[in-house]
Amino acid sequence: MKKDYFLLIAIITSSLSFGQVNVGDIIITEIMQNPSAVSDANGEYFEVYNTTGAPIDMNGWVIKDLGTNIHTISLSLIVPVNGYAILARNGDFASNGGVTVDYVYSGITLGNSADELLLLDTLGTIIDEVDWDGGSTFPNPAGASMELSTDKYNATDNNTGSNWGVAVSPFGSGDNGTPGSVNDFTLSIVKNQIAGFAMYPNPVNHGKFVITSNNDVKKQVEIYTMIGKQVYRKTVKTNETIDVANLNRGIYLLRVKEDGKVVTRKLIVN
């Protein structure tokens, strides 16, 4: 019995990423630096996303800025595969604006204008960094979070201000944001728009969806993860069912080509 128990523990432990990870395995995807429904001390939070195929435990990681703010994560904080975690100054749902928090930090404040957030792993490697500039290139909202475009989920693009937008979905006490879920901001990256293009349902809840357009011609469908790995490629007809039941839950990029025209959309698989 003891042997089986320790074997089970070993299997569970080996499935998590401890110690050294790669740059961009965890990225910052949302920052609420200036809430309006509650005070900054109560409502500041930021969101991280796991871009990898294994859960990552951030226990022992360091949160800091380029000044004196610093905090070491002192508890297990597991970020699931292609999933989110919320870190905040206040973990009380009733007073923090209605945010479900995964970890409460201290010693960190998020500047309303210019500031920085750095995430360092247990070896001191900077895994991600975002330096916002108070409106020069980054948005500078009040009562809404800054959100990374869902087609820029990597550690290079998320430190470019033009890849961030202002959240428009209200939550909790009335501020706008999507803490712990898919951002509602996506850059317009459509070129040579396919006339009458539509896809449904999205989010995909039962592993299948269809695409349509004004032209009844074949379309090349490609699906990519947020870090650019192609996971699907097929030529289909208009209204032909596209089966993605083998894909993990998460956010993807859908690219459709038709007669030299291209359209790109965010695809959510539940």
Nearest to 46 by CA among 110, 97, 1: 110
At 103 the pLDDT is 98
Q: Are 110 and 204 part of one and the same domain? A: no
Nearest to 129 by CA among 163, 155, 152, 161: 155
User: Cα–Cα distance between 142 and 33 in angstroms, integer?
Assistant: 8
Task: For residue 11, give the 3-state DSSP assignment.
Answer: helix
Q: At residue 142, what are phi and psi to the nearest 5 degrees? A: -125, 130
Would 186 be classed as within a structural domain? no
At 11 the pLDDT is 40
Task: Output the domain CATH number for residue 162.
Answer: 2.60.40.1260
Q: What is the mean pLDDT of the chain?
A: 89
Q: Are 203 and 125 part of one and the same domain? A: no
Which residues lie below 8 Å from residue 3, measured CB to CB, with a gap of 6+? none
Which residues lie below 8 Å from residue 83, measured CB to CB, with a gap of 6+? 49, 50, 250
Pick from 166, 183, 216: which residue ends a domain? Answer: 166
Which string of b and e fits 159-192 if b means at least 16 CB within 10 Å? Answer: bebebbbbbebebbbebbbbbbebbbbbbeeeee
Would 175 be classed as within a structural domain? no
| Residues linked to residue 200 through DSSP beta bridges, in sequence order | 210
At 189 the pLDDT is 46
Structure tokens at 43: 């409502």
Q: Are 158 and 222 part of one and the same domain? A: no
* Residue 44 C-alpha from the chain's centroid: 17
Q: Are 158 and 44 part of one and the same domain? A: yes
Would 223 be classed as within a structural domain? yes
Structure tokens at 183: 């951002």
Q: How far is CA 8 from CA 1, 2, 3, 13, in A?
A: 11, 10, 9, 9
User: Cα–Cα distance between 211 and 237 in angstroms, integer?
Assistant: 9
Domain region containing 62: 22-166
At 2 the pLDDT is 46
Q: Are 160 and 203 part of one and the same domain? A: no
Structure tokens at 29: 């995807």
Structure tokens at 139: 């948005």
| Residues linked to residue 176 through DSSP beta bridges, in sequence order | 144, 170
At 16 the pLDDT is 54
Structure tokens at 49: 């996303």
Task: Output the domain CATH number for residue 263.
Answer: 2.60.40.3080
Would 177 be classed as within a structural domain? no
- Average pLDDT (67-89) is 96
What would the pLDDT profile of 101-155 be if each residue is shown by its tens digit? Answer: 999 999 999 999 999 999 999 999 999 999 999 999 999 999 999 999 988 899 9
> Contact 198/211 with Cβ under 8 angstroms?
yes
Q: Are 64 and 158 part of one and the same domain? A: yes
Would 225 be classed as within a structural domain? yes
CB atoms closer than 10 angstroms to residue 49: 26
Nearest to 75 by CA among 43, 106, 118, 31: 106
Pick from 144, 166, 188: which residue ends a domain? Answer: 166
Q: Are 43 and 157 part of one and the same domain? A: yes
- 245: confidence class by pLDDT, cuts 50, 70, 90: very high
At 19 the pLDDT is 52
Q: Are 211 and 161 part of one and the same domain? A: no
Identify the residue whose tokens are 């998020």: 110
Would 4 be classed as within a structural domain? no
Would 108 be classed as within a structural domain? yes
Q: Are 143 and 203 part of one and the same domain? A: no
Q: Are 76 and 207 part of one and the same domain? A: no
Q: Are 251 and 120 part of one and the same domain? A: no
Would 184 be classed as within a structural domain? no
Q: Are 44 and 92 part of one and the same domain? A: yes
What would the pLDDT profile of 1-38 be if each residue is shown by its tens digit? Answer: 444 544 444 344 434 545 579 999 999 999 999 999 99
- In the chain, how many domains are there? 2
